[in-house]
Amino acid sequence: FSGTYGYYRAKGFNFSGSAGILDETFSVTTSGTTPTAFYTLPSATYRSGELTIQVTNGTAYRIAKMLFIHDGTNVTLSENYGVGGEIQTGATNTTFSASISAGTLTLYATASSGTAVVKGKVSLIKV
């Protein structure tokens, strides 16, 4: 491939090489109390990111924004970092967590009851 560096866009994938930002979508169904991975990324490539998450659990709906950053070992999540950062029609009973193992950062959703459908997008920023 040759040409001018620029912006590439395909279904569910956007990448701007010059800015080092990757945008992708995700979707997972989680039930019970076992954490379900909904997104993984190479921790050596991406240091931080922003999540826009929609959760559906029965008749309850929720949309939230989250930030995350890591130091190579520990991941810090900041849920609903902005004023009015979350809107919900009822308790979705779903929590979020993250961990790093063998160079892979994994984001998890856990439904404390019922079945939750977690959808959204992540924007990652390179190291």
What confidence tens digit (pLDDT) does each residue in 42-92 have?
Answer: 999 999 999 999 999 989 999 989 999 999 999 999 986 655 667 888 888
**CB atoms closer than 10 angstroms to residue 17:** 12
pTM: 0.81
Length of the chain in residues, anyone?
127
| Alpha carbons 98 and 48: distance in angstroms, whole number | 12
CB neighbours of 2 closer than 8 A, spacing ≥ 6? none
What would the pLDDT profile of 16-50 be if each residue is shown by its tens digit?
A: 554 578 889 999 999 888 999 999 999 999 999 99
- Could you tell me the sign of the dihedral formed by the alpha carbons of 85, 21, 47, 11, in that order? positive
List 121's β-bridge partners, or say none.
25, 52
